[in-house]
A and B are shown apart, each in its own frame.
Chain A
Amino acid sequence: MVDVGWYMALAAALFLIGALGMLLRRNALVMFMCIELMLNAVNLTLISAGRALNDLDGQVAVFFILVVAAAEVVVGLAIIVAIFRRRATASVDELSELRG
């Protein structure tokens, strides 16, 4: 029986890696994947905490997050494709028209 703390630590590490990738990479697709990483980290915490608390609601919440993530991926990738067709680039640093 692995202590729930290890699961949490693993989730924290995954989240941190995702966040760092999100902030350091410039390819929109890779950034997107980093977001997925972070979402998975959160899902893991929900499952683990749910088990530790003897509660199924954690798994139900993960179920919803999966749905939302799927919807987000669909729209996000469509946006990336649209931008690419117009600008022929996937680098977010070249998309800074909205600067102040």
Chain B
Amino acid sequence: MVETILFVLAAAGALAGAVTVVLARNPIYSAVGLLGTLFSVAVLYVVQLAHLVAAVQVIVYAGAVMTLFLFVIMLIGVDKEEKREENLPRQRLWVGAVAGVIILFAAGVAVFGDFAWVPAATGPVDQEATNGTVQAIAEPLFTDWVLAFEATALLLTIAAAGAVVLAMFRRKRN
């Protein structure tokens, strides 16, 4: 029962934030909308016992990444709005048509069809097995996935170096 209430609230927040991201004319509002979605999704993680991931979501995403976004928005200028005229008028029609088809199809399947979202799902959820505490996540992370873990370290190093190189961009002197 608690889960149902939390799910409805969080889902509503996530969707509202997402719609704000897309529709807001000012990027600042988009960023705030995204922030809302990230928090709502974090709530959904907690509901599903993914404690560590939820914490990381809040600390890294909502904390660090969104700060970075806002910083760049401020750097580039908040007052710049998108132009009204569309360079690709047909794109809107196309995207609208595709989206409409997908929505209709998905709704049709969800409502009328006997659609298994997770076909291999096995009965009731085992609270013990899926309790995503730090200890529980750490064990597979440092055993089965240790190679991928090391690779992410390399990836982050490269990303940091790449960011520094791009930031060193200077206009050529005449």
Contact = CB atoms under 8 A, between A and B. Distances in A.
User: Are A and B in contact, CB atoms below 8 Å, in the complex?
Assistant: yes
Interface of A: 1-2, 4-10, 12-14, 16-21, 23-27, 29-30, 32-34, 36-37, 40, 43-44, 47-57, 59-60, 62-64, 66-75, 77-82, 84-86, 90-91, 93
Nearest to B18: A17
A30 B140 contact: no
Interface string B114-140: 010110111001100110100011001
A6 B7 contact: yes
Interface residues of B, number: 82
Contacts of B88: 93
Contact of A67 (B102, B152, B160): B152
A90 B76 contact: yes
A30 B120 CA distance: 37
B103 A56 contact: no
A78 B71 CA distance: 11
Contacts of B41: 40, 43-44
B167 A81 contact: yes
Given A53-B121, A77-B72, A60 B171 contact: no
Contacts of B130: 50-51, 54-56
B92 A4 contact: no
Given A14-B37, A51-B48, A71-B159, 16 more contacts: A12-B106, A18-B21, A23-B91, A33-B31, A34-B22, A44-B44, A51-B49, A55-B129, A56-B132, A60-B140, A66-B57, A67-B155, A67-B156, A68-B152, A75-B166, A90-B80
A82 B168 CA distance: 9
A96 B13 CA distance: 36
Tell me what chain B mostly uses at the interface: helix, strand, loop, or mixed.
helix
Contacts of B148: 64
Given A70-B64, A71-B159, A74-B160, A14 B15 contact: yes
Contacts of B76: 29, 80-81, 84, 90
A53 B118 contact: yes
B38 to A, nearest CB: 7
A52 B167 contact: no
Nearest to B54: A47
Contact of A56 (B14, B22, B137, B162): B137
B117 A91 contact: no
27 contacts: A14-B37, A16-B103, A17-B21, A29-B30, A29-B76, A30-B30, A33-B31, A44-B41, A47-B45, A47-B48, A53-B122, A56-B132, A57-B144, A63-B53, A63-B141, A64-B145, A70-B60, A71-B156, A72-B159, A75-B163, A78-B162, A78-B163, A78-B167, A81-B166, A86-B171, A90-B76, A90-B80
